[in-house]
Chain A
């Protein structure tokens, strides 16, 4: 193959075949896919992202959430590696987990730009997450996932929240978290034994008073080291005095985006199985 022209033409043709097959044909097939309306008076599905949800999508994009979370629910017929209690091999793990009511199809993504399908499930699939958790849950989970799931390896996004002094009353939007999550935002705080002793010396009476008020008479002796540990466990769940954690605009936007993710819900004719 000593002639450059043969090389060039061959390399051009083989490449063009894949460009035609994997790029151009799908483009022609899918580019002008319309929205779906069951009845003429229905809202067309899907709807493009609005307002805060669109900004939230940008937050999702720039922080690389897609690299742990997919957004594609797989078919009922997909996956045949589990046995149900009667010993029959079953399919459709994604849907059985509650990750969607149906599989996702191309129409679900026509307004997505970028289309973040994702190829990793270090964390769960999020195509239909808007259906599963409330805004309050999402805020706490985004701030520090281990406040909800101790086993989670998701990063803390505490930098999307600000810790502020309370002026007047605590804000309604403040995250309802105990001080173990707020003293060092993003981390879980526990004072060292010496620090705890110092705290007990200064505030021990107030802490015990509050304990009596909120929980009742203690079932342990809080003058012993073991009891003091239990008291510490309780104290860590109480809110930090004078401070609150508030979501920034980015956090509000991100949660709005997550709530808007209901891609595997609306029944589409082509998604029926």
Chain B
């Protein structure tokens, strides 16, 4: 690269122009992934409500096999995990890799194809399950005829991400890029091995749930967590205009996650008919997870220190930081849950469901929302229409997940205690958890309202009805500004990973 004799402002202008070019090239495919992801979030939310209501009002939608609880529950998981979470995660991979590699997106048709394939797969999954082709394999409930579409879809995304990385203009490889590259490498391998050993060349007996939980836990730990953490690593320093606290902590966090997370999966089978060494190995892996989680938490926290007041203003930052804090909390909880004494109580109960949702919603979904709030205006050139709706979305999601987690943790814990006591009739246990399950429906309804608000904002933005981006971002409230600049100064370019980001 030629030595620049431009002023700092001219450099910033050049960098901004580059970003505009990159964003413009990403627009179509990334928005396709984002829009379809949001569709599945709505579908998944409705399926969730149906399932939740059935657990305290069993006569709700009784009478047809299509809407029986078991099928709705499988369909819900496919819609939110494979539909919403994965599509939004893939959108993140595409946009962030382009931005961080500082290179435009090419061959967009391949990505439209990938988006279409993945959506076909998810549609086949959800409808197939409701019509009776569910597999009763957790997280892999989708009928086998959907598998080729999932593989092809993510295969294209992986190939494209790697190809973009190889075309990079930016020499320095930022931490988010490590996480993205790792995730798109791990996920296809996980998926192929698991589907092979469970469906196409089925292994004997308990090997199936062993492989299944290796896959499921790694779906969380090696697919969506790296992308979620990667997004936070991007959004937080970007909005604050400060570098991440420690490069070496980010290295530690990445490699220890890669090593330990993948070993933790058997904690879902503690006490089960598996070899004892497997359960122990996973408890060790789960406890070692404290290391990467603490590394990431320190990194994010120390970057935020002194700037928490910014959470009052920036929606993207608020959602992302909420998610990052939830990540720390859910990971600590998960490590503790893997200990035998704890698992003895919490396993098989609604406590686990609460934990799972703190992870996929409190952590992942909130960070994905944060990414949308940051990224979409840069792709469409339109800012968000109403800060009131954003506020509604945030509080519905935050209050919803808090209520959800609290209700199921309390109910689930005592459910577990009672399950272990043979003197407690099963009837008492069922009746005991009812009010907590009803609270969960309330929480889910609140969350769904937030999703509707979010979808409204998204549709308005896509349709071009928001104001133009040049008039400044939509904030919760206006921060105190110096008269000259339209946005608090983000001038601390020196020290960000690259001066051009």
Listed in ascending order, the chain A residues whose CB lies under 8 Å from chain B are 1-4, 7-8, 10-12, 14-15, 17-19, 21-23, 26-27, 29-33, 60-68, 70, 72, 74-75, 78-82, 93, 96-98, 103-117, 119-122, 124, 145-146, 149, 151-160, 185-188
B74 near A: Cβ within 8 Å?
Answer: yes
Query: Chain A residues near B218 (CB, 8 Å)?
Result: 18
Contact between B422 and A97, CB atoms less than 8 A apart: yes
Contact between B422 and A61, CB atoms less than 8 A apart: no
Query: Chain B residues near A115 (CB, 8 Å)?
Result: 205-206, 208-209
Contact between A23 and B211, CB atoms less than 8 A apart: yes
B17 near A: Cβ within 8 Å?
Answer: no
Interface string of B184-209 (1 = CB under 8 A from A): 01100100010001100011111111
B434 near A: Cβ within 8 Å?
Answer: yes
Query: Chain B residues near A14 (CB, 8 Å)?
Result: 255, 258-259, 262
Contact of A155 among B62, B214, B265 (CB under 8 A): B62
Query: Chain B residues near A146 (CB, 8 Å)?
Result: 58
Contact of B134 among A10, A62, A119, A156 (CB under 8 A): A62
**Which of B269, B272, B282, B426 has most chain A Cβ within 10 Å?**
B272
Shortest Cβ distance from residue A39 to the other chain B in the assembled complex, whole angstroms: 24
Complex CA–CA separation, A238 to B55 (angstroms): 29
Query: Chain A residues near B350 (CB, 8 Å)?
Result: 122
Complex CA–CA separation, A156 to B62 (angstroms): 7
Contact between A27 and B207, CB atoms less than 8 A apart: yes
Question: Can you list 28 contacts pairing A with B, beta carbon distance less than 8 Å?
Answer: A2-B172, A7-B182, A22-B262, A22-B265, A22-B282, A26-B274, A26-B278, A33-B204, A33-B205, A60-B136, A61-B134, A62-B132, A65-B70, A93-B419, A93-B422, A97-B426, A104-B272, A104-B273, A109-B206, A114-B137, A119-B347, A120-B349, A152-B430, A153-B55, A153-B56, A156-B62, A159-B65, A187-B63
Complex CA–CA separation, A152 to B59 (angstroms): 11
Contact between B178 and A7, CB atoms less than 8 A apart: yes
Query: Chain B residues near A117 (CB, 8 Å)?
Result: 206, 209, 269, 272-273
3 closest pairs, A vs B, by CB? A64-B70, A18-B262, A82-B421
Contact of A110 among B204, B211, B423 (CB under 8 A): B204
Shortest Cβ distance from residue B178 to the other chain A in the assembled complex, whole angstroms: 6
Chain A interface SS verdict (over half): loop
Contact between B181 and A11, CB atoms less than 8 A apart: yes
B275 near A: Cβ within 8 Å?
Answer: yes
Shortest Cβ distance from residue B401 to the other chain A in the assembled complex, whole angstroms: 20
Contact of B63 among A26, A80, A186 (CB under 8 A): A186
Contact between B205 and A110, CB atoms less than 8 A apart: yes
Shortest Cβ distance from residue B414 to the other chain A in the assembled complex, whole angstroms: 11
Shortest Cβ distance from residue B147 to the other chain A in the assembled complex, whole angstroms: 15
Complex CA–CA separation, A239 to B22 (angstroms): 73
Complex CA–CA separation, A194 to B54 (angstroms): 30
Query: Chain A residues near B59 (CB, 8 Å)?
Result: 156, 186-188
Contact of B193 among A19, A70, A111, A112 (CB under 8 A): A19
Complex CA–CA separation, A188 to B63 (angstroms): 12
Interface string of B246-261 (1 = CB under 8 A from A): 0000010001001100
Query: Chain A residues near B69 (CB, 8 Å)?
Result: 64, 67-68, 155
Query: Chain A residues near B182 (CB, 8 Å)?
Result: 7, 11
Contact of A22 among B65, B166, B178, B263 (CB under 8 A): B263
Complex CA–CA separation, A110 to B421 (angstroms): 30
Query: Chain A residues near B54 (CB, 8 Å)?
Result: 153, 155
Interface residues on B, range: 35 or more
Complex CA–CA separation, A187 to B57 (angstroms): 12
Query: A112 and B430 in contact (CB under 8 A), knowing A64-B73, A119-B347?
Result: no
Interface string of B111-132 (1 = CB under 8 A from A): 0000000000000000000001
B271 near A: Cβ within 8 Å?
Answer: yes
Complex CA–CA separation, A159 to B272 (angstroms): 33
Complex CA–CA separation, A14 to B69 (angstroms): 39
B102 near A: Cβ within 8 Å?
Answer: no
Shortest Cβ distance from residue A33 to the other chain B in the assembled complex, whole angstroms: 7
Contact of B273 among A10, A60, A105 (CB under 8 A): A105
Complex CA–CA separation, A98 to B425 (angstroms): 12
Contact of A121 among B63, B202, B272, B349 (CB under 8 A): B349
Complex CA–CA separation, A74 to B279 (angstroms): 14
Query: A159 and B63 in contact (CB under 8 A), knowing A15-B258, A22-B278, A74-B271?
Result: yes
Interface string of B312-353 (1 = CB under 8 A from A): 000000000000000000000000000001001101111011
Contact of B135 among A61, A68, A152 (CB under 8 A): A61
Complex CA–CA separation, A64 to B208 (angstroms): 17
Complex CA–CA separation, A120 to B258 (angstroms): 29
Complex CA–CA separation, A43 to B345 (angstroms): 37
Query: Chain B residues near A116 (CB, 8 Å)?
Result: 136
Contact between B58 and A155, CB atoms less than 8 A apart: yes
Shortest Cβ distance from residue A245 to the other chain B in the assembled complex, whole angstroms: 14
Within 8 A of A (CB), among B199-257: 202-211, 214, 218, 222, 251, 255
Contact between A67 and B258, CB atoms less than 8 A apart: no
Query: Chain A residues near B166 (CB, 8 Å)?
Result: 4
Query: Chain A residues near B214 (CB, 8 Å)?
Result: 18-19, 22-23
